[in-house]
Amino acid sequence: MLAGGSPEVKRKITSAGILLSLLAILFVACQSPQEQLEKTSEVLPLPEGTQLVASMIEQGQGSQNACFFTTFTGLYGSSISYDKVMDFYTANLPDKGWTQDFPSWLPEEILSFQLGDEYTLGISDVTSNEFIIQQFKDVTGQELKDYLTIYTVTINYADWIARRYCPARSEEP
């Protein structure tokens, strides 16, 4: 029970506290998928000698008409090898709550992680993949020439409808 004051004042203070808590939860839940992906990408650990070169956020449709997934793709340049990049993420992402995932349909050189039912994350080497690099229109080959490794981090966010009706993981892409 709250110290001091009449029962009516205590009830109003308690009601106000509950209301503020509910509003805070609602605020977090009402963030757009883009905002959630931006925040998620900003807190990802980066290997030493690595920096984000370019990024984009897009929305795509899943296998069912009602399912939309929002995707962040970051293009990163690193001074370390892709093997060391993979070792870094394998060692550090679990500390942030990510669980390594091993879908049978995914090539083994692509690292895959999952965070709850909402997020999936893939890391892949695109050092020699001009097609992927060209998707980032503002990036020139000159900007990338100083990096040993160029890789992408792709984070998919599934809203509640997609999580319920379109599971993010299946045995086929």
Tens digit of each residue's pLDDT (9 = 90 or more) over 95-128: 999 999 888 888 888 899 999 888 889 999 998 8
Q: Are residues 82 and 48 in the same domain?
A: yes
Q: Are residues 21 and 48 in the same domain?
A: no
pLDDT > 70 in the chain, percent: 73
Q: Are residues 58 and 141 in the same domain?
A: yes
Q: What is the pTM of this model?
A: 0.73
User: What is the mean predicted confidence (pLDDT) over 21-45?
Assistant: 70
Q: Are residues 40 and 122 in the same domain?
A: yes
The pLDDT assigned to 173 comes to 40
Residue 11 sits in which domain range? 1-30
Q: Are residues 37 and 24 in the same domain?
A: no
Pairing of strands 149-158, 68-78: antiparallel
pLDDT > 90 in the chain, percent: 34
Higher pLDDT, 46 or 13: 46
Distance separating alpha carbons of residues 24 and 26, to the nearest angstrom:
5
Residue type, 138: D
Q: Are residues 15 and 57 in the same domain?
A: no
Does residue 111 fall inside a structural domain?
Answer: yes
Q: Are residues 41 and 111 in the same domain?
A: yes
Does residue 170 fall inside a structural domain?
Answer: no
Secondary structure (DSSP) of 134-155 = HTSTT--HHHHTT-SEEEEEEE
